[in-house]
Amino acid sequence: MKNPENFFIFDPPEEQGEAPWGVSAATVSPCSPNLAHYTKWKQQLEEIKRKFYVPAYDFTALEVCFHLGLLPNVADIDELRSRFYYFGGSLRKINVPDVVALDSGKALIRAKVKALPSDEVANLFFAREIKEIDAEEKSAETSSRIWSYHPGSNLRSARAGAASEFVEHLVLQKHYNDLAYAAGLRKATYGTSAASPELEKFCGVALSILGDFETRDLNKDDTTDIKRLSLQIKGPIKHVSEFSHLWKDLKLAKDTVQPCLYTTRNTSEPVVDFVYSADIAFQVTGATDAKHKIAVKPMLKILEATRAVRGEAKFRLYLVVPESVFKVAKAQTFEPPKKREKQTAAEYKKECDAFASAVAEIEKQVEQWVLAIPDKFPKGGITACGAHEEAPSDTSAGSVSQAVK
């Protein structure tokens, strides 16, 4: 244990919660969150100043565990996906033996969300706060029933947030108005063009569960010509590495039989933030004055990738905004080329002409609409198509209902 290239696995019972002092090896504590197990050890680490937090498994990692036989109580991938929705990446919670245990786990999550203090709601939903997560039976402020670490790419932060999408959805339904207000405040902090990460997070979850939205065509001057968009979403948001791998597998909205929203793990994906079908995508924006530009080359790539499925159908890009700015939102313009230092006037003119031609082609194929995310929780609650507290399924049928033709 004096060799810094070695690993020391430390997972003691509660009554033996002190690790050996002066260990040079990298110490790994694979225990479930429970401060009683490692309080004294953690005090030693405060002096070392080198702590790394490993996040819970994502679904890809869980699939590997399943195929390795590490989840014997999970029957198939569909059941794994359902349990991941409820319990996140906790192997122990996912691998319970029967329906009774599953239902008990869900009930305990609901109870913790119900008991969550109002001043912790935004911290949980947006993973704002650095905190130590404690044992499942502890209070809602620290319980690992509803909290999980979200340390970021460097693994150095003890930032804590929702343990699963089920937790996020319960919190959103119970505290919608407060979260909408918090997301709006953070939007103002980030400025008027790109959406803040918190606004994007809030709008994405709202899109996936509310079901019914007001929209209007940004090519029309009449701001009172409002149409309804109903998204028949049957499961949680699916994360993909990048959209370029996704487009070829999508269908038109009217032909989609497994409706869901897709997003990427890349926080700076150009043009779109969420994808529904080969002809419908969403971009969350903080802009109301066309300052959030559309990148021409990425947009052309999307149109080319979806052309075989779309045919003559237009690609509809919804600009997702808070309800408070819905009527003043404007269509996005396009990011023009900038003259480079050694570029000649003739070269720059040629590039500008190509840009104008590309914009004309995009405008032939793309419709820009604006979609309002309600500032207050809908009076009628969540529509039947939008609610999916029960297990998401890849075989459930549905479609998008558009009164926007």
Q: How far apart (Å, rounded) are the C-alpha atoms in residues 150 and 54?
A: 8
Claim to verify: residue 18 and residue 144 sit in the same structural domain:
no
Q: How far apart (Å, rounded) are the C-alpha atoms in residues 259 and 392?
A: 11
How would you classify the pairing of strands 212-217 and 366-373? Answer: antiparallel
Claim to verify: residue 21 and residue 74 sit in the same structural domain:
no
Is 53 domain-assigned?
no
Domain boundary among 140, 174, 208: 174
Residue 32, pLDDT above cutoff 80: no
Query: What is the value of pTM for the model shown?
Result: 0.81
User: Running DSSP on this structure, what letter comes out for residue 324?
Assistant: G
Domain boundary among 120, 144, 174: 174
pLDDT at 384: 39
* Confidence grade of residue 129 (pLDDT, cut at 50, 70, 90): confident
Residue 60, pLDDT above cutoff 70: yes
pLDDT at 45: 62
Q: Which residue has the higher pLDDT, 12 or 9?
A: 9
Claim to verify: residue 210 and residue 149 sit in the same structural domain:
no
For residue 117, the enclosing domain spans: 59-174
Is 183 domain-assigned?
no
Is 179 domain-assigned?
no
Is 396 domain-assigned?
yes
Is 181 domain-assigned?
no
Q: How far apart (Å, rounded) are the C-alpha atoms in residues 124 and 128?
A: 7
Claim to verify: residue 242 and residue 137 sit in the same structural domain:
no
Q: How far apart are the two ends of the chain, measured CA to CA in Å?
A: 69
Claim to verify: residue 231 and residue 330 sit in the same structural domain:
yes
Claim to verify: residue 348 and residue 250 sit in the same structural domain:
yes
Claim to verify: residue 221 and residue 294 sit in the same structural domain:
yes
Is 2 domain-assigned?
no
pLDDT at 380: 61
Is 234 domain-assigned?
yes
SS3 for 203-258 is HHHHHHHHCEEEEEECCCCCCCCCEEEEECCCCCCEEECCHHHCHHHCCCHHHCCC
pLDDT at 392: 42
Domain boundary among 174, 200, 235: 174
Domain count, the chain: 3
Claim to verify: residue 198 and residue 342 sit in the same structural domain:
yes
Is 134 domain-assigned?
yes
Claim to verify: residue 195 and residue 166 sit in the same structural domain:
no
Claim to verify: residue 42 and residue 89 sit in the same structural domain:
no
Q: Which residue has the higher pLDDT, 346 or 36?
A: 346
Range of weakest confidence among 134-138, 226-230, 399-403: 399-403
Cα separation values, 98 from 73, 93, 113, Å: 8, 11, 23
* Sheet architecture: strand order including 262-264: 238-240, 262-264, 274-277, 280-284, 315-322, 366-373, 212-217, 227-231, 400-402
pLDDT at 387: 45
Claim to verify: residue 374 and residue 394 sit in the same structural domain:
yes
